[in-house]
Every structure is written in C-alpha cells, then in structure tokens.
Amino acid sequence: MKKLALLMIICGALLCLCLPSSLNSQQSSAGPASTSAIRAVLNEQQSAWNRGDVTAFMKGYWNSPALTFAGSSGITRGWEPVMMRYRKNYPDAAAMGHLDFSGIEIRPLGSDAALVLGRWHLQRGNDAPGGVFTLVFQRFPEGWLIIHDHTSADAKP
C-alpha cells in the first residue's frame, strides 16, 4: 500500500511536469504557506549539515521503511539505510563541508505533496562538489517531509 502511494505521488509529479503552463501557474500560486514550510525544512537541513549533524539533517526525511533515495550508487530504501549511507559517505564535519542550496523550485502537487528541484554545492578543504536534486515532499501531521530524494553529482571535468 505504501509503495502504491509513493508510485502515485511520483506519477503525479511527472504528470504535473507535462501539464500546460497555465495549469502549472494556477497550481503554483495555491500554497504559499506550504512553500514556506518546505523552504523551512530545507533551511533546517542546510543548517544541520553545516553543523556536522547528520541526525538533525535526517529529520527532514520521512522516518519510514518506504523512504527512497536514488543516487549514483543506486536506490536506497528506508530511513535507517539512508541514514547509514550518509554516515558512511560523510563520516565527519570535514567530509561534510559547507552545504548551500540554490535554484530552488517548489511545485505543489495538490495540497499534501510537492516536487522540489534545486542544486546543491559543498565547499570542503580540497574540493567543491555539487549537483542537482529532485525531492518529493509529502505533508504529514508532523509537517512536510521528504519521501523521495534523487540526488546527482555534476560530472567531473
């Protein structure tokens, strides 16, 4: 049932991308409070990351076995495995570096879901990786949470 709900949200996101722009503009103006709440989650994640606090960063994700993360190493399913992935790839504050988000676009998919696009940038001692992300947020009683994250790194020159 949870997989079906996730599939429906992702299909809805794809459908929204195909709608005429007049429908998108009507829908985009429908939820300024939701947009602000989603931006607040992203700001909290950025702050937590920059403190070196992966546990606080993960509070922006749905704590469920149905959470999905897609990246260059494949698909990770579940909150705990996603947490372990972050801990393995970013074992300390130096590896985490300083995170900035840019180009954030929030597209509501109804009253309880949204598609978020953006760029991520890390500044570390000896490198500055970056890339793009697509997030699917869902509103829960406890607030807006990421239920799916697809993050890609820019190609290395």
* Domain extents in the chain: 2-153
27 has pLDDT over 80: no
Mean pLDDT to the nearest integer, 98-118:
97
In angstroms, the CA 70 to CA 38 distance is 20
1 vs 3: CA distance, rounded Å:
5
Distance between CA atoms of 14 and 69, rounded to whole angstroms? Answer: 17
pLDDT at 51 over 60: yes
- Residue for token digits 């931006």? 39
What is the pLDDT at residue 30? 39
Residue 64 has pLDDT above 90, yes or no: yes
Distance of CA 12 to the CA centre of its chain: 17
Give the Å distances, CA to CA, from 43 to 1, 3, 52, 57, 80.
Answer: 31, 28, 14, 10, 22
Q: Backbone phi, then psi, for 140, in 5-degree steps?
A: -120, 170
pLDDT of residue 130: 96
- What's the rounded mean pLDDT across residues 54-70? 98
Above 70 in pLDDT, residue 114?
A: yes
Q: Is the predicted pLDDT of residue 156 greater than 50, yes or no? A: yes
Domain 2-153 has CATH 3.10.450.50: yes
